[in-house]
Amino acid sequence: MIPKTTDMSSTKAIISAAASAAATAMLLLSIAKEFIPNELRQYVYFKFTTLLDSFSSELTLVIEEYDKLNHNHLFTASELYLEHIIPHNAQRLKICLPKKENNISVSLQENEEIIDTFNGIKLKWKFISRKTPVKFIPSPDQYSKMPVTEEMFFELSFHKKHKNMVLDAYIKHVIKKSKEMKEKKRTLKLFTLSPDRMTGRRGETWQSLNLDHPATFDTLAMEMEEKRMIMEDLERFVKRKEFYKKVGKAWKRGYLLFGPPGTGKSSLIAAIANYLKFDIYDLELTDLNTNSELRRLLISTGNKSILVVEDIDCSIDLQNRNAEAGALRPQPSRGYTQERNKVQVTLSGFLNFVDGLWSSCGDERIIIFTTNHKEKLDPALLRPGRMDVHIHMSCCSPCGFKTLASNYLRITDHPFFVEIEELMKTTTITPAEVGEQLMKSEEPENALRGLIGFLERKKIEDEERKKRENDESKATSEESGKQKMENGDI
């Protein structure tokens, strides 16, 4: 059908009018940009958008990355929350592997949208990123500033009538789920003292690496009853935040692991960390100079962490209280020496660190001490509130041997087990020694034969040692009696 001439003329007139209107608008915008101040233009634009929003039923919440100069934790929570609701059919996603982490992080690409549903309410998330003039914000260590040239924020849009529900319930739901995601993705860390900590910058107090120790309670060479007791105590501790607050105690727990070398003290620490998903801070007391430095280190540790002080009896002279007087006494100026450094951390300073006011700076913390000689420790350290639970790490038992055989040889029973268990009753052997023997062959029979031979040799050595000790004790007793008779004593 051929259009009529009048219809074509009307179409041309509309197009011409639209083009004229567009040209006029461009001219007006150019004039406005040239002669109207920027502040006035922004004010008019704001009023115009406000007018349009008043006719809309949609409300939008803006969650910026930074609140003025401080990091907005709700922005981080939103990132973590959105990661688990990203639809499978999403076309564009941004992925990265953060430094010192094992898990890939997935997030929205710029200007991408996600629809979420909560209690029947439809909510729309949109991620926006745009370049901005450079501004400086505090760095994580709080002692310097870092430049930021990008503004990032989330827009959360929903119907206005659901405002109260979103603010009261949905945001709390986002925060709760983000914490669960954070724990699920968390990579455990092992922190050690940083060589640059003397600069006083909190961010450089500790340096970390990933904690990849495979120890678990299933692989520990301990009696099942002991492992069950420890796990129940740990579970009770992490669930009692309100209880500790009610009774007025800091939310922390102290453990003392004592026993001969090679009995699995370090493996138990790693198993506790893996069980609770807690980071480990390894504190070497001999590297510290003053009590104030000890307090600063405690403050800089994170919550949900394990502070480890190994070989406490060797780290510092905690038994000799007179060392405190020596530390307080004025010292002649002879420069820095190792001997002067040894008396700087006093017993009272250490006790205040363990159980004083400074120990309450943080939540959900465990302090673990290890020693080979419990009898050398000052009684003030051993009392509840400082070392709440004392765990004796003994030599390898038949139950521990079966666990090690399962770990190393992947067997749970063998005809040699009976002979090995009988030999273990007559001699002492540590889990480390058993593990070393089981590692010598991948064939179970060869490895177990080697262990039997090792136990037999060790049994002979123990008998000879006991005989020597008895002979020496007898000779000493006879010499003492002879000396008394010479002195006329009865």
| Residue 460 lies inside a defined structural domain of this protein | yes
CATH code, 385:
3.40.50.300
pLDDT-derived band at 195 (thresholds 50, 70, 90) equals confident
At 333 the three-state DSSP class reads coil
- In degrees and rounded to multiples of 5, residue 307 shows phi and psi of -95, 120
| Whether residues 381 and 411 fall in one domain | no
**Can you point out the beta strands (E) in 395-447?**
none
- For the segment 241-278, what is each residue's pLDDT rounded down to a tens digit? 899 888 888 888 999 999 999 999 999 999 999 999 99
Question: How many angstroms separate the CA atoms of 267 and 402, rounded?
Answer: 17
| Whether residues 208 and 351 fall in one domain | yes
What was the pLDDT predicted at 334?
A: 39
| Residue 488 lies inside a defined structural domain of this protein | no
Structural domain including 425 reads 398-470
| Whether residues 214 and 362 fall in one domain | yes
Residue labelled with tokens 């070989």: 311
| Residue 482 lies inside a defined structural domain of this protein | no
| Whether residues 227 and 376 fall in one domain | yes
- For the segment 319-366, what is each residue's pLDDT rounded down to a tens digit? 445 444 444 444 444 343 444 444 467 777 777 777 766 666 778 889
Q: What average pLDDT score do residues 159-164 get?
A: 90
| Whether residues 364 and 258 fall in one domain | yes
Angle between helices 417-426 and 444-486 (to 10 degrees): 10
| Whether residues 103 and 151 fall in one domain | yes
| Whether residues 221 and 171 fall in one domain | no
Mean predicted lDDT score pLDDT of the chain? 80
How many Cβ atoms from other residues are within 10 Å of residue 108's Cβ?
Answer: 22
What is the per-residue DSSP string for 133-158?
EEEEEE-TTSSSEEEEEEEEEEEEEE
| Residue 338 lies inside a defined structural domain of this protein | no
User: For the chain, what percent of residues have pLDDT higher than 90?
Assistant: 32
| Residue 220 lies inside a defined structural domain of this protein | yes
**Can you point out the beta strands (E) in 90-231?**
93-96, 105-108, 113-118, 121-138, 145-159, 189-193, 206-210
| Residue 263 lies inside a defined structural domain of this protein | yes
What was the pLDDT predicted at 325?
A: 46
Question: How many angstroms separate the CA atoms of 394 and 255, rounded?
Answer: 16
Q: Give the domain-ending residue among 358, 392, 426.
A: 392
How many Cβ atoms from other residues are within 10 Å of residue 391's Cβ?
Answer: 20
- For the segment 367-401, what is each residue's pLDDT rounded down to a tens digit? 999 999 888 888 888 888 888 999 999 899 999 99
| Residue 407 lies inside a defined structural domain of this protein | yes
Domain count, the chain: 3
Residue 167 DSSP one-character state: I
User: For the chain, what percent of residues have pLDDT higher than 70?
Assistant: 76
| Whether residues 405 and 443 fall in one domain | yes
Question: How many angstroms separate the CA atoms of 206 and 305, rounded?
Answer: 13
Nearest to 190 by CA among 260, 117, 282, 125: 282
Question: How many angstroms separate the CA atoms of 159 and 165, rounded?
Answer: 11
Question: How many angstroms separate the CA atoms of 112 and 85, rounded?
Answer: 13
| Whether residues 297 and 413 fall in one domain | no
What was the pLDDT predicted at 208?
A: 85
- Beta bridge partners, 64, equal 153
Q: What average pLDDT score do residues 269-292 get?
A: 89
| Whether residues 273 and 349 fall in one domain | yes
What was the pLDDT predicted at 46?
A: 59
Give Cα separations from 380 to 258, 324, 346, 354, 355 (angstroms).
16, 15, 13, 11, 11
Q: What average pLDDT score do residues 417-431 get?
A: 90
| Residue 162 lies inside a defined structural domain of this protein | yes
Question: How many angstroms separate the CA atoms of 394 and 315, rounded?
Answer: 22
- In degrees and rounded to multiples of 5, residue 385 shows phi and psi of 100, -25
Q: Name the pairing type of β-strands 58-64 and 145-159.
A: antiparallel
Q: What average pLDDT score do residues 413-417 get?
A: 93
Q: What average pLDDT score do residues 224-244 get?
A: 93
| Whether residues 177 and 47 fall in one domain | yes
Q: What average pLDDT score do residues 118-134 get?
A: 87
- In degrees and rounded to multiples of 5, residue 443 shows phi and psi of -85, 120
Question: How many angstroms separate the CA atoms of 216 and 299, rounded?
Answer: 29
| Whether residues 287 and 304 fall in one domain | yes
- Please give, one letter per residue, the 3-state secondary structure of 245-270: HHHCCCCEEEEEEECCCCCCHHHHHH
